[in-house]
Structure 1
Amino acid sequence: MSSTTTLPSIYNSVPVQIPPHISLTQTELLEFPAFKSWISRLTSSLRSDNNPDGYTLRHLEITNIVRFGATKIGFLMLNAVVRDADDKVSLPGAVLLRGPSVGILALLHPANTPKKNLYAILTLQPRIPGATTSMAEIPAGMLDGHGSFTGAAAKELEEEVGITISEDKLINLSELAIQSSPLLDRDGTKESIGLANAPPVSENPGQETEKQNLDGLFSSAGLLDEVITYHAFVHEIPENELEQWKGRLTGLRDKGERITLKLVKFDELWKATRDSKALCAWALWKGLEEAGRLPY
């Protein structure tokens, strides 16, 4: 028989149904960062002026859980029942929670060549959900205990590409793109639409909450909570070393990764991959370059 727990009052005491085959406590649920961020933002958004139809979250049903190791929650799947004030319209509520990620546009620039002579590094690796053993994509990974987006980005570059860099050398494309954007409110904070984000609710009613800084792009907002923040890095190399990067094998062997690197001319990146992360990073770079806002 399913068990039912109730979220704290700050989340409007919404009931949560947990099937008998899923081992999950209320404490684990509330301490899973992706769930806490999602339910906080959703609760705030449903209270905001952007909810003219009076949608309310009626209840949640946990449908599956994937753990990393014996205890740590990696992914959480749930169904959210959200209906309008007249109880006539129900919104699609299937949700996969995994938390934020980072994508890195790693570029090589052969020394003593024109500034725009850039090569993008793509990783070729198996992606079973995509039904392929060789997906060409930019380095990316979940934000997991690194403390900052830039820290995670630097770690991904080192693990997947073999380049060790300092965080201050990374160019935050997402942050640069959102500055002076029409998606900003008059006070400079994010709206609760598009790329934006309502302020999270506070566990202390009298305490003013801090706006969450999600400058990235939603990868698939109809299903995923994932927001990807994009960074870029230009690595200078001697021109005669360019060929050595082709076909180089790297990756985290102890985690089962087997990654081959592929170099493509940056201007041709848009047609060299079907990885949406790569295309987003390419478009952000091109847009910032055209606007004269790229610090390179």
Structure 2
Amino acid sequence: MTVWKSLQLLLHFLSPPPYFFWGYAISLRMAFVVTNAIESSLFKQWLKNIQTETGLLANGAMSLKQVLIQGVDMFGERLGFLKFKADIIDKETGQKVPGIVFSRGPAVAVLILLDSEGETYAVLTEQVRVPVGRLILELPAGMLDDDQGDFAGTAVREVEEETGIHLNAHDMVDLTAFLDASTGGRVFPSPRKCQQEKIQQLQGKETGLRDHGELIKVHVVPYDKLWRATADAKALTAIALYEMAKRDGLLP
């Protein structure tokens, strides 16, 4: 019997007939039906990942017993965020491994570098981030509207919405193209010449889609001080990729 024949998705209270997913009968207990969650690309991609050659279930040392869907956030008719808990067991010890999953789908972050009068500046946005209870300086970023993988198009749109800067997709460099294909990540930096006057116009500019609850302020900081100016993981990752690509001669 495969792991999927014994997989149970548990929510709460009700026990409808078995739900057939990927050809296997899966028991559901739920207060409300969330077939949009288990049929979503987010959940299907997770299922696919743990079964790949490098996945958790690849060598048979671990097994998946059940999945508890804990939360679903819809963005209109599209599933935006999915939180669930997976009971994955180490067969040798019989112990559970940490298995809380928050899945949010593909997104893109953009490192914009402005060259002016011999100095390089980076563009950050200041945004309200309720989960950490603070205003955070971070790279312009946004989630893809669908699963088609239009990272460049999303990058162009998000940068214009959040900073007012218009980028050309063909001018951007995908830093993670230099990584091993198994990483599956993407980060777009955008080197660009800029006059000092333009930098001054950007500094403190208020942007964002107010009807979407976006309250954004633009900040321009010297690139060599960027790594100390923000705790944004996207920015720090982009800096590392950019510097390593330059060191290895992969960028001008």
Distance 1:18 1:161, change over 3 A: farther
Give the letter for the 2:141 counterpart: A
State how far apart, in whole Å, the 2-side matches of 1:249 and 1:140 are: 16
Residue matched to 2:125 = 123
CA pair 171-107 structure 1, distance change in 2 beyond 3 A: same
The aligned amino acid for 1:139 is P
The residue identity in structure 2 corresponding to 1:59 is: Q
Length, aligned pairs only: 236
Residue 221 (structure 1) aligns with = none
Distance 1:17 1:93, change over 3 A: farther
Distance 1:137 1:263 in 2: 11
Q: Residues 16 and 59 of structure 1 are in contact (CA less than 8 Å); yes or no, is this contact kept in structure 2?
A: no
Q: Which residue does 1:257 correspond to in 2?
A: 214
The one-letter code of the counterpart of 1:24 is V
Residue 7 of structure 1: how far off its partner (Å): 5.2
CA contact (8 A) 1:14 1:58 kept: no
* Alpha-carbon displacement from aligned partner over 1:120-162 (angstroms, at most 9, x marks no partner): 0110110000111x21101111122264222221221111111
Distance 1:72 1:16 in 2: 25
Q: Corresponding residue for 1:76? A: 82
Aligned to 1:203: none
Match of 2:108 in 1: 102
Contact 2:84-2:101 within 8 A present in 1 as well = yes
Tell me if the contact between 2:67 and 2:86 (Cα under 8 Å) persists in the aligned partners: yes
Judge which range, 84-93 or 255-264, deviates more.
84-93
Report 1:72-221 matches (<5 A). 72-86=78-92, 88-110=94-116, 113-114=117-118, 117-132=119-134, 134-145=135-146, 147-176=149-178, 178=179, 184=180, 190=182, 195=183, 214=184, 216=185
CA deviation profile, 1:45-68 (whole Å, cap 9, x unmatched): 2453xx352x12122111111112
Corresponding residue for residue 57 of structure 1: 64
Q: Where does residue 15 of structure 2 map in the other structure?
A: 3
Unaligned runs of 5+ in 2: 1-12
Asked if 2 retains the 8 angstrom alpha-carbon contact of 1:18 and 1:62, the reply is: no
Q: Indicate if the aligned counterparts of 2:37 and 2:72 stay in contact, CA closer than 8 A.
A: no
Pair 1:240–1:74, CA change in 2 (3 A): closer
For the Cα contact (< 8 Å) 1:14–1:59, is it kept in 2? no
**Aligned CA-pair RMSD:** 2.2
Deviation of the 1:238 alpha carbon: 2.1
2:42 alignment partner in structure 1: 34
Output the amino acid matched with 2:108: V
Q: Distance in 1 between matches of 2:27 and 2:165?
A: 45
- Preserved contact between residue 163 and residue 202 of structure 2 (Cα < 8 Å): no
Structure having the larger proportion of residues in strand: 2
Q: Deviations over 1:90-143 (max 9, x none)?
A: 221111111121111012122xx33xx2110110110000111x2110111112
* CA drift at 1:18: 4.4
3-state SS in 1 of match to 2:250: coil
Normalising by structure 1, report the TM-score.
0.73
- CA shift for structure 1 position 81: 1.3
Pick aligned residue for 1:248 from 180, 205, 212: 205
User: Which secondary structure does the structure 2 equivalent of 1:43 belong to?
Assistant: coil
Identity within the alignment, %: 33
Determine the C-alpha separation between the residues in 2 that align with 1:122 and 1:103. 11
SS in 1 for 2:137: strand
8 A Cα contact 1:16 1:60, kept in partner: no
Change (3 A) 1:16 1:149: farther
Q: What TM-score does the superposition give when structure 2 sets the normalisation length?
A: 0.85
Q: For residues 93 and 3 of structure 1, what CA distance do their matches in structure 2 show?
A: 24
Residue 251 of structure 1 and its aligned partner are, at CA, apart by 1.0
State the shift of 1:242 in Å: 2.4
Is 2:252 the partner of 1:292?
no
The answer as to whether partners of 1:15 and 1:59 remain within 8 angstroms in 2 is no
